[in-house]
Amino acid sequence: MSVRTRKPRLEGIEIVEDAAPEFEAVGAIQRGLHDFNQAMGGPYDREPVTLLVQDAEGKTLGGLLGLTFWGWLFIDWLWLSPDLRGQGVGADLLKRAEAIARERGCTNAYTDTFSFQAPGFWQTNGYVEFGRLEGMPAGHARVWFRKAL
């Protein structure tokens, strides 16, 4: 029978809950993880992809927010006001983002959505489901999609 022992905590170190952390604290965590990731996976070459859908007065009615890095396009947000949905605007946004990603040397794209949002939209546009987390939120699922560019 093996016995496990706990490593003693470091002297002077504590875990602190902070509901509104200062920018410097958040930055320290982000920089630390980015530095580690780049040391392990190579330079990010991170560049934002920001596409806006605007009316004649410049009011934003939707858009796509994402990043390109490590040869991938990550689509973080894609939203359209309800009156623009189903008219091909979302597909146009997606095609434009994918074209930008290809120009930057990306060969793949990925995103996640919820089962109550628009998984069919992603499938219609050539994306394939590769992961699903049932029960997030209760009665629904979080779904991950990818596409070769």
What pLDDT, on the 0 to 100 scale, is given for residue 43? 87
Number of continuous H segments (helices) and E segments (strands) in the chain: 3, 6
Instruction: From first to last of the 149 residues of the chain, give the pLDDT tens digit.
Output: 555 555 666 888 888 888 998 999 999 999 999 899 899 998 888 999 999 999 999 999 999 999 999 999 999 999 999 999 999 999 999 999 999 999 999 999 999 999 999 999 999 999 999 999 999 999 999 999 999 99
| Superfamily covering domain 46-148 | Gcn5-related N-acetyltransferase (GNAT) (3.40.630.30)
What pLDDT, on the 0 to 100 scale, is given for residue 116? 96
Tracing tokens 């990731």 back to the chain, one arrives at 37
Enumerate residues 6+ apart whose C-beta is below 8 A from 47: 67, 68, 69, 104
Enumerate residues 6+ apart whose C-beta is below 8 A from 53: 60, 61, 62, 63, 80, 84, 89, 93
Determine if the pTM surpasses 0.75: yes
What pLDDT, on the 0 to 100 scale, is given for residue 22? 93
What pLDDT, on the 0 to 100 scale, is given for residue 44? 83
Instruction: List, in sequence order, the alpha helices (H) in 2-57.
Output: 23-41
